[in-house]
Amino acid sequence: MTLREALKVRQALRQTRRRHEKVALLADWLRRLAPGEEEAAVALLTGTLPWGKSGVGPGLLQRAWENLPPGTDEVPLAEVLDHLHRIAQARGQDDKVRLLRDLFRRLSPAGRAWIAEVLVGEVRQGAGERTLLEAIARAFDLDADTVQRAYLYGAPLAELIRQARAGTVRPEPRLFTPLRPMLATPAAALDLAHRELGGTGLYEFKLDGARFQAHRLGSEVRVFSRHLRDITATVPEIVEAVRRLPAGRLIVEGEAVALDENGRPVPFQVFMRRFGKRRHIEEARQRMPLVPFFFDLLYLDGDLTTEPLERRRHLLFQLAPEEHRIPALQTSRVEEAEAFYRQALDWGAEGLMAKRLDAPYVVGERVGLWLKIKPAETADCVIIAAEWGHGRRRGWLSNLHLAVWDPGRKELLPVGKTFKGLTDRDLTWLTRELLKRKVAEEPGIVYVKPEIVVEVAYSEVQQSPRYPSGVALRFARVKRFRPDKPAREASTLADLLRSHAR
What positions carry a catalytic annotation? 206
SS3 label, residue 253: strand
| Sequence-ordered list of residues with C-beta below 8 angstroms from that of 148, at least 6 positions apart, any chain | 130, 133, 137
CA–CA distance, 357 with 215 (Å, rounded to integer): 24
Question: If you ran DSSP here, which 8-state letter would residue 358 be given?
Answer: T
Per-residue exposure over 361-393, b if at least 16 CB sit within 10 Å of its own CB, e if not? bbbeeeeebbbbbbeebebbbbbbbbbbbeeeb
d(CA 267, CA 345): 13
Considering only CA atoms, which of 412, 402, 416, 401 is closest in space to residue 471?
416
Cβ 118 vs Cβ 84: under 8 Å: yes
- Look at strands 249-258 and 210-217 and give their pairing: antiparallel
Q: How far apart are CA 143 and CA 235, in angstroms?
A: 39
Which of 2, 183, 171 shows the shortest CA–CA distance to 79? 2
Percent helix, percent strand, percent coil in the chain, to nearest 5: 40, 25, 35
For the beta carbon of residue 129, count every other beta carbon within 10 angstroms.
12
**Cβ–Cβ < 8 Å for 341, 189:** no
Q: Are strands 366-373 and 183-186 parallel, antiparallel or unpaired?
A: parallel
In single-letter form, the type of residue at position 420 comes to K
Beta strands across the sheet bearing 220-225: 220-225, 210-217, 249-258, 290-300
